[in-house]
Amino acid sequence: MHISSSPLGTEVTCEVCGRSSADISATLRVCAECIRERFEEAKPFIDAAHAEIRERYGLPRTAPRNPNGVRCSMCGNNCRIPEGGRGLCGVVKNVGGKLVREFGTPERGLLSWYYDPIPTNCVPAWCCAGSSGAGYPKWCYSPRGDIGFNNLSVFIGSCTYNCLYCQNFSFRELTVKGAPTMSAEELASKATENVSCICYFGGDPASQMPFVIRSAKIARERAEREGRLLRVCMETNLSMDRWSLKKFAELSMESGGGIKADLKCWSSEILYALSGVDHRVAFENFKLIGRRQQERPEVPFARASTLLVPGYVDEEEIRGIASFIASVDPSIPYSLLAFHPLYYMKDMPYVKKRDVERFLDVCRKEGLEKVRVGNPWLVI
């Protein structure tokens, strides 16, 4: 199968049911209804789409499950990597029967970084201390937030998913090149006196948690010695192993920071179609952080978001996610994000205002107390 992209808004015919719509991806060539209801028929088209994309970057077609391979347990993919092979993330390989982590070790990470003036455009900025002033004076410098300070934005150059609609797909070039890299000490040194928070995103931090934890710990300890604030945050698909999540959660909680989970969709079939993974670790991990929400209610610790991919992340998906979040803690802030046509779904249309309004209503009816659209300027 050759991956192609049609002009924006072009109707595509589902290979399973024969229905034509602009809400069907030219890359997937199957509709959401068939993915959920006729998954075995839709799966070959899904697999072909992800395989071609990953082969372009020299990555395995799927999470390797070689019975003779070495198991990597650092994320929910649980790759069993054959001799000479790589894990789905591209940063772990099997050399002589032993796992070798090329990047994302406690010593060195694959990343780029920059200073982002506060208030930032982070998805959870509306409820975080630095941009909103929540938790003043304990967690930020003024009731209006940390105006005049910077966020140290850390863009991780690898990921544990293969999202066809990735909004930050430039991380793939870092994975392929294996550069730039930086030591944990070097990155921590960038958290200078005019930096009041550090946020790891990407790509995804889940693919390099040993480095993320080590660099954040060094930066926090330095800030504490100097008597200044430094919140530690993360935006992630939340697919990391439980031990790593707990370690980072402690750093984030005690610093006034938070963890924003990208809960991509509710059904396992749609998740597999859009992101190429076959596990639900993110939801189990979200329970862990969500149940700590009331330990520090003045600055929400757990935050969540979902990208509204037209035709795929529909009302059924949003209802499932909203109900799940509310069952954990209805006060958890939830951002719905309007889709921007990019990467291998650049032919898909923008999300419509009437749909967004319906999704917001669904979230509120499911019991969520804090829900908003994070980027309304992309809604048509």
Q: What pTM was computed for the model?
A: 0.96
Q: Please give the pLDDT value at position 283.
A: 98
Q: Please give the pLDDT value at position 155.
A: 98
Quick one: average pLDDT of 301-307?
Answer: 98
* Cβ–Cβ < 8 Å for 308, 265: no
Residue 2: burial class (beta carbons within 10 Å; 0-12, 13-18, 19+):
exposed
* Cβ–Cβ < 8 Å for 187, 111: yes
Quick one: average pLDDT of 271-279?
Answer: 97
In whole angstroms, how far apart are CA 318 and each of 63, 310, 334, 351?
Answer: 27, 12, 11, 14
The amino acid occupying position 46 is I
Quick one: average pLDDT of 362-380?
Answer: 97
Quick one: average pLDDT of 163-170?
Answer: 95
Backbone dihedral region of 58: left (phi > 0), alpha (psi from -120 to 50 degrees) or beta? left
pLDDT at 2 over 50: no
pLDDT at 348 over 90: yes
Confidence of residue 121 (pLDDT cuts 50, 70, 90): confident
Chain-wide mean pLDDT for the chain?
96
Quick one: average pLDDT of 101-122?
Answer: 95
Q: Please give the pLDDT value at position 245.
A: 98
Confidence of residue 237 (pLDDT cuts 50, 70, 90): very high
Confidence of residue 92 (pLDDT cuts 50, 70, 90): very high
Q: What angle do CA 86, 88, 91 make, to 5 degrees?
A: 55
pLDDT at 356 over 70: yes
- Among residues 176, 242, 251, 177, the alpha carbon closest in space to that of 214 is found at 251
* Cβ–Cβ < 8 Å for 34, 42: yes
Confidence of residue 1 (pLDDT cuts 50, 70, 90): very low
Quick one: average pLDDT of 132-156?
Answer: 97
Quick one: average pLDDT of 111-121?
Answer: 95
Q: Please give the pLDDT value at position 5.
A: 53
pLDDT at 4 over 60: no
Q: Please give the pLDDT value at position 293.
A: 97
Q: Please give the pLDDT value at position 10.
A: 85
Report residue 281 CA to chain centroid gap. Answer: 13
* Cβ–Cβ < 8 Å for 338, 373: yes
Which residues, at least 6 apart from 362, have a Cβ–Cβ distance to it below 8 Å? 315, 318, 319, 322
CA 170 – CA 285 distance, rounded (Å):
26
Quick one: average pLDDT of 155-167?
Answer: 97
What whole-number percentage of the chain has pLDDT above 70? 98
Quick one: average pLDDT of 348-368?
Answer: 97
Which residues, at least 6 apart from 146, have a Cβ–Cβ distance to it below 8 Å? 118, 129, 130, 131, 140, 196, 197, 229
pLDDT at 6 over 80: no
Q: Mind listing the pLDDT tens digit for each residue in 184-227?
A: 999 999 999 999 999 999 999 999 999 999 999 999 999 999 99
For residue 305, which phi and psi values (nearest 5 degrees)?
-150, 160
pLDDT at 9 over 90: no
What whole-number percentage of the chain has pLDDT above 90? 96
